[in-house]
Amino acid sequence: MKRLFPYLAVAGALSLAFLGGFPCDPQAEAATGKRLFIVFLDETGGKDEATQPWDEYVRYASNLALRMGQGDGIAVLGIDDKAGHPSDSRIDLEVLDPNPIAAIGQKRKIANRIHELKIRNPGVKATDILGNIHTASRLAADLKGFQTQLVFFSDMVPYPGVPTADDVRKSKISFAADSVAHMFFVNATSFQPRLGPKVTINDAQDALKSIWETVLKAAGVRIETFVPKNGVPATFELLFPKPI
């Protein structure tokens, strides 16, 4: 990302990681039950590494896989223009063995598979994020007893249309009440021109956050993390610390 947002430096990113005053304690989450991580990798940036750094997406997603606990689940979806299609799935749902030794081997294999993923159709223009969320809701519904965490590696800019709470209700998208979302690499650069010539990049960032808060709230999901590139390293380490 070439443009950094001054009001969202690392310290600001850490505070945004706890939107609405709901602190996230990864150990507490692990203690209350198993987690299902549904990871979204945005494939619509094509060659524009400034706003859609694919290599960083897969690196962080791989690290997330390595940091899961035994019994946790993970699935990886690709964001493109064909959401709701079987091709959404880049890595099918897998639940780690409750045995910690066996789980280590599983995590390594999953992480390697994620790291090897490539963008399938560079230059795709449409970005159907809501369609992918719909797919994720079906995955979560099929796996009972897990706390769902939606983890996005994306600029979070929908195109061409902007989703609404009405779209969520019409599509019957819903998650369990304890579901949360983490959005990494948010970048409103391509969204700003759609809001008018007088809108600043900071205002565009706020507008983008408001859209997703409204949409995900309608689906029963609370946004816990919403950070641009410069805030990703510190926030990721805080939320998903390396196993001791």
CATH number at residue 154: 3.40.50.410
Q: How many folded domains does the chain comprise?
A: 1
The whole-number pLDDT of residue 11 equals 40
Tokens of 124: 């795709």
Nearest Cα to 143, choosing from 223, 38, 218?
A: 38
The band of 46, judged by pLDDT with boundaries at 50, 70 and 90, is low
Which residues touch 65 (CB under 8 Å, ≥6 apart)? 37, 74, 107, 110, 111, 114
User: Which region among 3-12, 63-72, 91-100, 207-216 has the lowest average model confidence (pLDDT)?
Assistant: 3-12
178-217 pLDDT per residue, tens: 999 999 999 999 999 999 989 999 999 999 999 999 999 9
DSSP type of residue 9: S
140 within some domain: yes
In a domain, 108, yes or no: yes
Neighbouring residues of 99: CB distance < 8 A, sequence distance ≥ 6: 70
Residue 66 within a domain: yes
pLDDT tops 60 at residue 16: no
244 vs 167: which has the higher pLDDT: 167
> Residue 184: inside a domain, yes or no?
yes
Task: Return the higher-pLDDT residue of 136 and 7.
Answer: 136
pLDDT at 18: 39
Q: Which residue has the higher pLDDT, 196 or 18?
A: 196
Rounded to an integer, the average pLDDT of 42-49 is: 70
Alpha helices in the chain (DSSP H): 10-16, 26-32, 54-66, 100-115, 129-142, 165-171, 201-218, 232-239
The four Cα atoms 58, 179, 188, 82 give a dihedral, to 10 degrees, of: 60
In the predicted structure, residue 1 carries a pLDDT above the cut 70:
no
Instruction: Give the per-residue pLDDT at 51.
Output: 56
Residue 126 belongs to what domain range?
A: 6-20+35-238
Question: 83 to each of 79, 132, 217, how far by Cα in Å?
Answer: 7, 5, 20
Residue 44 lies inside a defined structural domain of this protein: yes
- Specify if 243 maps to a domain: no
Looking at every residue in the chain, the average pLDDT score rounds to: 86
Q: Given a cut of 70, is residue 32 above it in pLDDT?
A: no
Task: Give the per-residue pLDDT at 48.
Answer: 55
- For 117-172, write each residue's pLDDT tens digit: 999 888 787 899 999 999 999 999 999 899 999 999 999 999 999 999 999 999 99
Is 1 within the bounds of a domain?
no
Backbone angles phi, psi at 116, to 5 degrees: -90, -5
Task: Classify residue 26: in a domain, yes or no.
Answer: no
28 has pLDDT over 90: no
